[in-house]
Structure 1
Amino acid sequence: MTLRTRRPLDLAATATATALLLGACSTTDSDAPGSATTEGGDLQEVTIAVHNGWDEGIAVSYLWEAILEEEGYSVELEMADPGPVYTGLAGGDFDLNFDMWLPVTHADYLEQFGDDLEQLGAWYDDARLTIAVNEDSPLQSLEDLAAQPDVVGNRLVGIEPGAGLTRITKDEVIPTYGLEDLDFVESSTPAMLAELSGAVDAGRDIAVTLWRPHWAYDAFPLRDLEDPEGTLGEAERIETVGRTGFAADFPQLASWLGEFTLTGEQLFSLENLMFNENGGEKNEESAAQWLADNPELLEDLTAASGA
């Protein structure tokens, strides 16, 4: 699915703040069609690939779309599963992705495509994979899940088959804890969240694959199962990654991205606004509102970049 969103933001506060950060950009005509550039020397058109269902990446992609379109870039968001995203980046079909989890979750993609990618910086450093249950579940750990699978109807509800979380659940969690007889349902993030919502509403126990930060922890009464064997890994960083040649084609944007970070509180509030309060239906407006409510993000980037 391709989302093209070219409508300029109508929040004066956001426009003023982004102008302080990025400076006035203008496009210049070029002899070659499609090669318009900004005043900073970047190509004007940017294609951001977004992982289906990975809400932190969706939220940050819309956040940067809001910033860049205020500055004269033409931004296209394209949603796909991680495999096609990294294949497309390596092949030059996409310019940018904000959601590479390292060193574990997307390590296989980095190994496969790393020679054709540019790592542009980590913007978050406390991302965690989880197996979550309803807060009042009698299960406390993954060992309990193995011993009492009937509590959750012998099911573990997962997300997309191509997700790193799915691979780690199958290759590490299930064999380590002896969960082979559990029905591991590979579906999609929206389908998993729908099942989670239905189970909570019905007062039914459920176990799902999830990750932190995620707005679901605010929307539903959840807690994580303990993982004494460490199969889900430690805290990871989330990196921005571009196609080969990205920094050469977008030197100014690459420098901004290298300075970009979010705190856990910032990321949670952005996701919560976009997906919990606004139901994922007003992503452009949510990003604009969040920028207006959080001017310190752009102020910090301004200071770090010397803009």
Structure 2
Amino acid sequence: MIHFLKKGKWFLPLSLCALVLAACGDNNSGEAPDDESSDAENDKGEIELVLVAWESEIASSNVIGNVLEEAGYDVQLTTLEMSPMWQSVAQGDADAFVAAWLPSDMQHEYEEYGDDMVELGPNLEGNRIGLAVPEYMDVTSIEEVTPDNFDQIVGIDGGAGIMNATEDAIEAYDLDINLMTSSDAAMTAELGAAIENEEPIVVTGWQPHWKFNTYDIRFLDDPLDVYDEEEEIRTMVREGLEEDEPEAYQILDNFYWETDDMNEVMLNIEENDMEPADAAQAWIDDNRDTVDEWLDTGSEE
């Protein structure tokens, strides 16, 4: 079972019943505690994955977490702010994260901590960030993000790379408009409310994100190229993980999926009210061939 060390938007604590079972065991199960057929999660080491509480990273972390558990690891997911996420892996306090939005969104953290960890390359490519508006808006370019058209830009967490890029855009385009700091959840709630009433709104946007599937929205043109046209999400692991847990290291290195895959998990969480671990497992069950490729590490049991 995946354990959540720090409660985030989508994470619920273990039930009291589960805690009692974990502490005391099930004496009526018909299996001895040291039986060779005991749960696979007790067969291998513990892997701690850290993540930022963005819908995209909740989806990807739960998927790879479930896959690592299938391989026999005891997985813990810990939600952190962005800089502590990087710092925890750089210092070896956590094992990995699959949430490095680069080259621009987490550029500062990458420059500060990247040399102290191992980069396994992209697990998803073709990302994009920028400013987004509903299709019913007449504006097409960032140059038109003015008080005549919008009250403010609705953003997310202060310090996020997309917020820094948006501040750069405000300066580059000489926009006389305020950037509102909130959160991913608050931003999408504002977006949904505005669309329901066909009101003007401009938000910090990135793809993949379920809002592009749920709502009819589009990116604004960026003639000054303030935002990178395409980004990627990379997997970062602590130094020494390959030596300590070579199979987990290889699974993390094998992890790669597409935008539609991530969106499917996010949509099940957001629109179908599935728990993240359940949505992740549903995707795993429907994409067995892909997951088996991730699990193919060449190791012999």
Q: CA deviation at 1:234?
A: 2.3
What letter is aligned with 1:262? W
For 1:226, the equivalent position in structure 2 comes to: 221
Distance 2:98 2:282 in 1: 20
Measured at CA, do residues 55 and 75 of structure 1 come closer, stay the same or move farther in structure 2, by a change above 3 Å? same
SS state of the match for residue 92, structure 2?
coil
Distance 1:264 1:196 in 2: 21
Task: Give the conservation status (yes or no) of the 8 Å contact 2:47–2:74.
Answer: yes
For 1:296, the equivalent position in structure 2 comes to: 289
- TM-score if structure 1 supplies the norm length? 0.81
Distance 1:222 1:285 in 2: 28
For 2:50, the equivalent position in structure 1 comes to: 49
The structure 1 segments of at least 4 consecutive aligned residues displaced by more than 4 Å after TM superposition are 3-7, 24-28
Distance 2:158 2:107 in 1: 16
Provide Cα deviations, 1:123-174, integer angstroms capped at 9, x if missing partner. Answer: 11111112111110011110121xx433222x0000001211111111x211
Measured at CA, do residues 73 and 302 of structure 1 come closer, stay the same or move farther in structure 2, by a change above 3 Å? closer
For 1:159, the equivalent position in structure 2 comes to: 156
Task: Give the conservation status (yes or no) of the 8 Å contact 1:274–1:287.
Answer: no
Give the share of equivalent positions with the same residue, in percent: 29
* Stretch of structure 1 that moved more, 240-249 or 192-201: 240-249
1:177 equivalent in alignment to 2:178: no
Q: CA deviation at 1:25?
A: 9.5
Measured at CA, do residues 246 and 268 of structure 1 come closer, stay the same or move farther in structure 2, by a change above 3 Å? same
Measured at CA, do residues 62 and 27 of structure 1 come closer, stay the same or move farther in structure 2, by a change above 3 Å? closer
Count of aligned positions: 269
For 1:62, the equivalent position in structure 2 comes to: 62
Provide Cα deviations, 1:258-285, integer angstroms capped at 9, x if missing partner. Answer: 222112222222222222332xx51111
Distance 2:198 2:210 in 1: 20
What letter is aligned with 2:149? V
Task: Give the conservation status (yes or no) of the 8 Å contact 1:158–1:166.
Answer: yes
- TM-score if structure 2 supplies the norm length? 0.82
Q: CA deviation at 1:115?
A: 2.6
Gapped regions of structure 1 (runs ≥ 5)? 8-23, 29-36, 39-43
* Stretch of structure 1 that moved more, 112-121 or 190-199: 112-121
Task: Give the conservation status (yes or no) of the 8 Å contact 2:122–2:233.
Answer: yes
For 1:83, the equivalent position in structure 2 comes to: 83
Gapped regions of structure 2 (runs ≥ 5)? 1-5, 19-37
For 1:16, the equivalent position in structure 2 comes to: none
Distance 1:267 1:139 in 2: 29
**Alpha-carbon RMSD:** 2.3
Distance 2:242 2:102 in 1: 21
